[in-house]
Amino acid sequence: MMAAMVSAAPRNVGGEILVPPSGQVKLKDKTTPVIEQVAKEQLDPEARPLVFTRGRADLSLLKLLLSSRGASIWTDEEHDRTNVKMTRPAHDKWGISKIVLVFCDDFLKRVYTFPWYHEPEWKEALQPVLDVLGIPEEKMVRCLLASMPPGCVIPVHHDTGHWVQHTHRVHVAVVTDVSEVDFLVGPDPKHMRKVMFDEGRVVEFNNQAKHAVTNRWSRNRVHLILDYVDEYPLDFVRLAPGSKLVQTRRSIDVEGLVTRQGPDPAFVVLGGQKCGTTLLYECLNQHPLVARGRRRETHFFDWAWPAKGESLTVDQLRESYMAFFYAEELKSHPSIVTGESTPSYLLRGDLVIPRLKNVAGKTRLLVMLRDPVKRAYSHYHMAVDPEGTPAQLRSRGGGGWTSKTFEQVVEEERAVLEKAGVGPATSPGDFARDYLSTRPNGYGGHSLLGRGLYALQLQPWLEAFGRDQIKVLFLEEVVKSEDSLQEAMDGVFEHVGLPPSPVEDKAPKNHRDYPPMDEGVRRRLRDFYAPYDAALRQLLRRDSLPW
């Protein structure tokens, strides 16, 4: 088994050992993976060693401490009893034992200091390394020792997570044999160099670069892993012995210690229908700290409102609402948030606003808008599409449109609006009383033109919740480019109370192909919506709209 593992190890290109020059990694060289920087010719030549010597540290006290504590110091049982047991999935899979002293979650939301870290013996043993780095202990966000067994191979990889670009990664070999342990670093898997990593050498390397380790030695190789920040707001939490951690890949919480700080759910996408809300919801759910609900569209505040909802207590309503989410899991993972997207909420503010304000009044709200002419055409083709699950077909409704052309439906909808007295001077209150109250509540195939009267729908939401609680986006601006989508989502994450995170899947959602709209119908619709668009510009205090 050992031979097989070692044979699969990455190779040292050129055979020479790289002695890390003096220096340190600049955080500006860690903003993206090195392999991408090289491909785009963005890597600073001064950063190309990727690994630097920060100095040498006297490890005699650390070695003495490790030897005096015996083999049990590496066991989960001992940590569970006198320190805190922590899971590191990859290292655990490779059989690497650990002693965790300080650790942060992937987004640097909290830094946990473990019980052993506060023992004078450990602080004294670690101080020579901090002296070499020239940093106070308050800048450490991770500090642990790892014991790598004989034959173990850590494959080529680079570190990921928000924390990587904000921290300096330092390794110090405590027990090793340079001739038998290979620590390789390189810009890509084909150009890896073995690094001189002898005992006591304090090495900083760019962990956005590819790196790998192979232990061909007959003994365990022990090294110290330390990460520190230059400047970053840190929230420290001191753990008690035996504390129970609740972990996901990117989050760390403590049973009974940290409670949820934000609302549940954290966000609700209100609409509008056929305005890119599915894309917005899916991008939100790519964030590592977001957990999907049981369904995307709960319709709790419109179609699924309890029959006797107005007579139920707030607690009863909240319990019914949270049944659409994984409430128990959220309780044990306070760092994780959830949300929903029901695009009909925006239209039916007359129903939804008082209900939502009563049940989840602090939830962050999101609205995505789109050219109302294109929205109407997309809405029509969704409603008449015969493809889909029975549930999808029921929710679309169709409104009797399947036997009618788009132009016919447009004219019928204009007549409905005229009969209700809806015009550019209509107030949101009159719009709700004379038009919305006549709309069906149970499917989406209606209000083809009414859904594009954005200002009449949005104004009551802004009045009820305030501008700070509602973020309005425009589909045309979001999908202009991959960069614009990421920029928009950075703003959405901030609005919801989440740290930045890359969005990997930027593909359109719920896309349909259909023939071009008749130009005559398009012009009539453009003229129809013009005064309503002007009202939207004024409401949102914008000079123009992106259509």
DSSP structure class, residue 546: -
The verdict on whether residue 378 carries a ligand-binding annotation is yes
Could you give the CA distance from residue 471 to residue 485 in angstroms, rounded to a whole number? 15
Written as six digits, the tokens of 237 are 């939490």
DSSP assignment of 170-238 equals EEEEEE--TTTEEEEEESSTTS-EEE---TTEEEEE-TTSEEEEEE-SSS-EEEEEEEEESS----EEE
Q: How far is CA 203 from CA 55, 97, 159, in A?
A: 8, 21, 16
Give the sign of the dihedral formed by CA 531, CA 533, CA 537, CA 539: positive
> H or E element: which one contains 383?
helix 372-384
Cβ neighbours of residue 457 under 8 Å, at least 6 residues apart?
A: 271, 272, 346, 347, 349, 428, 431, 451
* Helix, strand, coil % in the chain, rounded to nearest 5: 40, 20, 40
CA 227, 233, 236 angle in degrees (round to 5)? 70
Could you give the CA distance from residue 209 to residue 223 in angstroms, rounded to a whole number? 19
Selecting among 109, 274, 374, 506, the annotated active-site residue is: 274
User: Helices in 8-57 by DSSP H: which ranges?
Assistant: 34-39
- Give 367's strand partners: 271, 472
Q: How far is CA 452 from CA 74, 118, 410, 416, 543, in A?
A: 63, 61, 12, 14, 19
Could you give the CA distance from residue 395 to residue 346 in angstroms, rounded to a whole number? 16
Annotation says 93 is catalytic: no
DSSP structure class, residue 243: P
CB-based contact 294:326 (threshold 8 Å): yes
Collapsed DSSP state (helix, strand, coil) of residue 5: helix
Could you give the CA distance from residue 210 to residue 37 in angstroms, rounded to a whole number? 12
Could you give the CA distance from residue 443 to residue 400 in angstroms, rounded to a whole number? 12
- Give 224's strand partners: 145, 172
Collapsed DSSP state (helix, strand, coil) of residue 521: helix
- Give 100's strand partners: 144
CB-based contact 74:98 (threshold 8 Å): yes
Could you give the CA distance from residue 347 to residue 345 in angstroms, rounded to a whole number? 6
Neighbour count for residue 517 (Cβ, 10 Å): 16
Could you give the CA distance from residue 468 to residue 480 in angstroms, rounded to a whole number? 25
The verdict on whether residue 250 carries a ligand-binding annotation is no
Query: Binding site residues, as ranges?
Result: 370, 378
Specify binding-site residues for 3'-phosphoadenylyl sulfate: 370, 378
Which residues are catalytically annotated?
A: 274
